[in-house]
Copies of this chain bind each other. A is one copy, B any other.
Amino acid sequence: MAGKSKLLKIYVGETERYQDKPLYQYLVYWLKDKGIVGVTVNRGIEGYGQDKILHTARFLELSSDLPMILEVVDRADKIEALIPDICKIVPKGLVFTVDLEVHKYGNTP
Protein backbone atom coordinates (compact mmCIF):
# COMPACT_ATOMS: atom_id res chain seq x y z
CA MET A 1 0.00 0.00 0.00
CA ALA A 2 2.20 2.80 -1.29
CA GLY A 3 1.58 6.44 -0.38
CA LYS A 4 -0.38 8.03 2.44
CA SER A 5 -2.88 5.87 4.33
CA LYS A 6 -5.80 6.57 6.59
CA LEU A 7 -7.84 4.84 9.27
CA LEU A 8 -11.56 5.43 8.79
CA LYS A 9 -13.85 4.76 11.74
CA ILE A 10 -17.62 4.56 11.43
CA TYR A 11 -19.91 4.26 14.49
CA VAL A 12 -23.53 3.17 13.98
CA GLY A 13 -26.22 1.56 16.13
CA GLU A 14 -26.63 -2.22 16.12
CA THR A 15 -30.34 -1.95 15.27
CA GLU A 16 -30.06 0.67 12.49
CA ARG A 17 -31.12 -0.70 9.13
CA TYR A 18 -30.46 0.24 5.51
CA GLN A 19 -32.13 -1.38 2.50
CA ASP A 20 -33.51 -4.31 4.57
CA LYS A 21 -30.10 -5.12 6.11
CA PRO A 22 -28.45 -4.12 9.36
CA LEU A 23 -26.64 -0.88 8.47
CA TYR A 24 -23.23 -2.15 9.65
CA GLN A 25 -23.54 -5.27 7.46
CA TYR A 26 -24.62 -3.17 4.50
CA LEU A 27 -21.50 -1.01 5.00
CA VAL A 28 -19.16 -4.03 5.13
CA TYR A 29 -20.47 -5.36 1.80
CA TRP A 30 -20.55 -1.87 0.27
CA LEU A 31 -16.92 -1.19 1.27
CA LYS A 32 -15.86 -4.59 -0.10
CA ASP A 33 -17.68 -3.82 -3.32
CA LYS A 34 -15.80 -0.51 -3.60
CA GLY A 35 -12.46 -2.36 -3.42
CA ILE A 36 -11.47 -1.42 0.13
CA VAL A 37 -8.79 -3.94 1.17
CA GLY A 38 -9.88 -4.61 4.76
CA VAL A 39 -12.66 -3.92 7.25
CA THR A 40 -13.03 -4.94 10.91
CA VAL A 41 -16.25 -4.70 12.95
CA ASN A 42 -16.40 -4.44 16.76
CA ARG A 43 -19.42 -4.32 19.03
CA GLY A 44 -19.09 -1.95 21.97
CA ILE A 45 -20.54 -3.06 25.31
CA GLU A 46 -21.85 0.37 26.20
CA GLY A 47 -22.11 3.86 24.80
CA TYR A 48 -24.15 6.93 24.06
CA GLY A 49 -24.27 9.33 21.15
CA GLN A 50 -25.98 12.51 20.11
CA ASP A 51 -29.35 11.34 21.52
CA LYS A 52 -27.73 11.13 24.99
CA ILE A 53 -29.44 7.78 25.61
CA LEU A 54 -27.05 5.33 27.25
CA HIS A 55 -27.09 1.93 25.52
CA THR A 56 -25.50 -0.85 27.52
CA ALA A 57 -25.08 -4.62 27.63
CA ARG A 58 -25.13 -4.45 31.45
CA PHE A 59 -28.88 -4.86 31.78
CA LEU A 60 -30.08 -7.78 29.72
CA GLU A 61 -33.69 -6.80 30.21
CA LEU A 62 -33.22 -3.48 28.38
CA SER A 63 -33.39 -3.65 24.65
CA SER A 64 -30.07 -2.13 23.79
CA ASP A 65 -28.86 -0.54 20.60
CA LEU A 66 -25.17 -1.20 21.17
CA PRO A 67 -22.55 0.73 19.19
CA MET A 68 -21.06 -1.05 16.18
CA ILE A 69 -17.63 0.24 15.20
CA LEU A 70 -16.20 -0.31 11.71
CA GLU A 71 -12.46 0.16 11.16
CA VAL A 72 -11.20 0.58 7.62
CA VAL A 73 -7.58 1.03 6.56
CA ASP A 74 -6.62 1.88 3.00
CA ARG A 75 -4.87 4.49 0.86
CA ALA A 76 -5.89 8.04 1.82
CA ASP A 77 -7.17 8.86 -1.68
CA LYS A 78 -9.39 5.74 -1.81
CA ILE A 79 -10.92 6.50 1.59
CA GLU A 80 -11.41 10.21 0.89
CA ALA A 81 -13.25 9.41 -2.35
CA LEU A 82 -15.82 7.29 -0.44
CA ILE A 83 -16.54 9.68 2.45
CA PRO A 84 -19.34 11.72 0.80
CA ASP A 85 -21.27 8.51 0.02
CA ILE A 86 -20.62 7.06 3.49
CA CYS A 87 -21.98 10.24 5.11
CA LYS A 88 -25.19 9.78 3.09
CA ILE A 89 -25.55 6.08 4.05
CA VAL A 90 -24.87 6.81 7.74
CA PRO A 91 -27.59 9.30 8.65
CA LYS A 92 -26.80 9.81 12.32
CA GLY A 93 -23.57 8.01 13.20
CA LEU A 94 -20.03 9.24 13.65
CA VAL A 95 -17.49 9.13 10.80
CA PHE A 96 -13.88 10.21 11.28
CA THR A 97 -10.42 9.61 9.81
CA VAL A 98 -6.93 9.49 11.34
CA ASP A 99 -3.59 9.67 9.52
CA LEU A 100 -1.42 6.63 10.02
CA GLU A 101 1.69 4.88 8.78
CA VAL A 102 1.21 1.37 7.39
CA HIS A 103 4.18 -0.96 7.93
CA LYS A 104 2.66 -4.17 6.60
CA TYR A 105 -0.50 -5.04 4.73
CA GLY A 106 -1.17 -8.66 3.84
CA ASN A 107 1.58 -10.65 2.23
CA THR A 108 3.10 -7.75 0.31
CA PRO A 109 6.81 -7.44 1.05
Contact = CB atoms under 8 A, between A and B. Distances in A.
Determine the interface band of chain A, counting residues with CB < 8 A from chain B.
35 or more
A66 to B, nearest CB: 9
A103 B50 CA distance: 15
A54 B41 contact: no
Contacts of A5: 96
Q: Which of A7, A46, A90, A92 has the largest number of chain B CB atoms within 10 A?
A: A46
Given A28-B48, A42-B42, A87-B104, A73 B54 contact: no
Contact of A47 (B7, B38, B83): B38
Given A40-B67, A73-B94, 5 more contacts: A28-B54, A40-B47, A92-B107, A98-B99, A98-B100
